[in-house]
């Protein structure tokens, strides 16, 4: 009797597994993300939540706020209509592509530069922001441009392209690499470095939070940001690009630039306006 019950349980378990396998969701590559989003009336975006001006969770209400957040909302309404909803999932530089590939998010809008290596793995929209590397210094510093960094100590984050760029442009600069940008800023403020470098938009957020510091010298690299989209989603990519174009053409884009970057010390927001 016990043996019969065991065999029955085994057969039932096998049937359940086969049923679940047959009814499981389609592979991501065979899904039409645009159609799915139209049905749910929602686009799920991967965004940063720790960078002021770009994407930051407001501790007062728990809501994501920043330029990329507002831009994602505007594009969502262009793609899905005025009642379309933007849902946000927090990502990091390390997690954003895996989350996209796994289907946890539909698109990435998280300070991601359009790079050849990344384009081998995912697709990108047209550029939505003309980022570039810049320098953050204490107000009153003698450093006015990247070439003034020769003989000086510059802080940055480990593994960033910023370090390589500095070593090429100011080869006599000493680079102090820290685990992240927060620690790089702390090192600058404690006198371990005389300047900090990374993308201008990231430095802009730091400048707003630290009034004694400002950006100098403009940008000395070009690193356009793009919206990350899974390969094989041509319809979705076209819709995102169309939405972005409409947001630029109706003036919304420039309003968002001025809203978030119009009063940042040393940041010339006019350089990133779109016509």
Whole-number pLDDT of residue 23: 40
Say whether both 183 and 209 belong to one domain.
yes
Domain residues for 180? 133-216
Cα gap 165→149, rounded to integer Å: 12
Considering the domain architecture, whether residues 194 and 235 belong to the same structural domain is answered as: no
Are the C-beta atoms of 144 and 134 separated by less than 8 Å? no
Highest mean pLDDT among 13-22, 23-32, 112-121, 261-270: 112-121
Question: Does 1 map to a domain?
Answer: no
What CATH code is carried by the domain that includes residue 162? 3.40.190.10
212 shares a domain with 77: no
Q: Which helix (H) or strand (E) holds 71?
A: helix 67-80
Q: Are residues 185 and 58 in the same domain?
A: no
In the structure, what pLDDT confidence band is assigned to residue 28 with cuts at 50, 70 and 90? Answer: low
Helix (H, G, I), strand (E, B) or coil at 251: coil
Token pair in block for residue 139 = 């107000």
Domain annotation covers residue 156: yes
pTM over 0.95: no
Q: 252 Cβ partners below 8 Å, 6+ apart?
A: 74
Mean residue pLDDT across the chain: 89
Mean pLDDT over 256-267 rounds to 92
Instruction: Give the pLDDT confidence score for residue 85 in this predicted structure.
Output: 98
Residue 146, in any domain of the structure: yes
User: 94: pLDDT confidence band, cut at 50, 70 and 90?
Assistant: confident
Gap between the terminal Cα atoms of the chain: 80
Q: Which of 216, 234, 249 is the last residue of a domain?
A: 216
Please report whether residue 43 resides in a domain: yes
3-state class (DSSP) for residue 152: coil
Residue 170 lies in a domain: yes
Can you list the pairs that 29-32 forms with residues at least 24 positions away whose Cβ atoms lie under 8 Å? 29/230, 29/231, 29/232, 31/103, 32/233, 32/235, 32/236
Count of other CB atoms within 10 angstroms of residue 40: 14
Distance in angstroms (rounded) separating the CA atoms of residues 252 and 75: 10
Same domain, 232 and 112: yes
Q: List CB contacts of 124: < 8 A, sequence separation 6 or more.
A: 114, 118, 226, 227, 228, 229
Say yes or no: 160 and 45 in one domain.
no
pLDDT by residue (tens digit) across 107-144? 999 999 999 999 999 999 999 999 999 999 999 999 99
Extract the runs of DSSP E, i.e. beta strands, from 169-212.
Answer: 174-178, 195-199
Residue 182: both structure tokens together: 């927060």
Judgement on whether residues 83 and 107 belong to the same structural domain of the protein = yes
Clarify whether residues 82 and 102 are in a common domain: yes
Do both 122 and 236 map to the same domain?
Answer: yes
Q: How far apart are CA 38 and CA 32, in angstroms?
A: 10
Residues 108 and 182 in one domain: no
Quick: pLDDT tens for 160-208: 678 888 989 999 999 999 988 889 999 999 999 999 999 999 999 999 9
Q: What letter does residue 31 receive in the DSSP assignment?
A: S
200: in domain: yes
Predicted pLDDT at 159: 62
Last residue of a domain, one of 216, 236, 264: 216
Do 156 and 184 have their domain in common?
yes
Residue 135 C-beta-side C-alpha neighbours within 13 Å: 28
Nearest to 29 by CA among 240, 236, 244: 236
Residue 100 domain-assigned?
A: yes
% of the chain residues with pLDDT over 90: 76
Chain mean position to CA 260: 16
Q: Which of 14-23, 30-39, 124-133, 220-229 has the lowest mean pLDDT?
A: 14-23
Indicate the number of domains in the chain: 2
Same domain, 199 and 72: no
Q: Is residue 92 part of a domain?
A: yes
What is the percent of the chain with per-residue pLDDT over 70, rounded to a whole number? 88
């Amino acid at each position: 009797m016990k043996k019969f019950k065991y065999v029955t349980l085994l057969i039932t378990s096998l049937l359940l597994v086969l049923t679940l396998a047959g009814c499981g969701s389609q592979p991501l590559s065979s899904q039409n993300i645009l159609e799915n989003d139209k049905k749910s009336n929602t686009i799920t975006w991967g965004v940063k939540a720790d960078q002021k001006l770009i994407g930051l969770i407001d501790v007062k209400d728990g809501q994501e706020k920043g330029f990329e957040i507002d831009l994602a909302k505007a594009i969502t309404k262009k793609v899905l209509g005025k009642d379309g909803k933007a849902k946000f999932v927090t990502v990091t530089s390390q997690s954003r592509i895996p989350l996209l590939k796994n289907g946890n998010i539909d698109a990435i809008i998280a300070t991601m530069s359009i790079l050849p290596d990344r384009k081998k793995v995912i697709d990108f929209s047209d550029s939505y922001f003309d980022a570039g590397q810049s320098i953050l210094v204490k107000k009153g510093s003698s450093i006015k441009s990247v070439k003034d960094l020769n003989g000086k100590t510059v802080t940055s984050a480990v593994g960033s392209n910023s370090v390589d760029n500095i070593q090429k442009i100011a080869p006599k600069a000493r680079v102090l690499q820290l685990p992240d940008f927060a620690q790089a800023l702390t090192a600058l403020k404690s006198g371990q470095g005389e300047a900090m470098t990374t993308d201008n938009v990231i430095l802009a957020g730091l400048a707003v939070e630290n009034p004694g510091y400002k950006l100098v010298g403009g940008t000395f690299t070009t690193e356009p940001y793009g919206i990350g989209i899974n390969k094989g989603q041509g319809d979705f990519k076209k819709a995102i690009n169309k939405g972005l174009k409409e947001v630029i053409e109706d003036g919304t884009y420039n309003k968002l630039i001025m809203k978030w970057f119009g009063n940042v010390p040393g940041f010339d927001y006019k350089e990133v306006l779109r016509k």
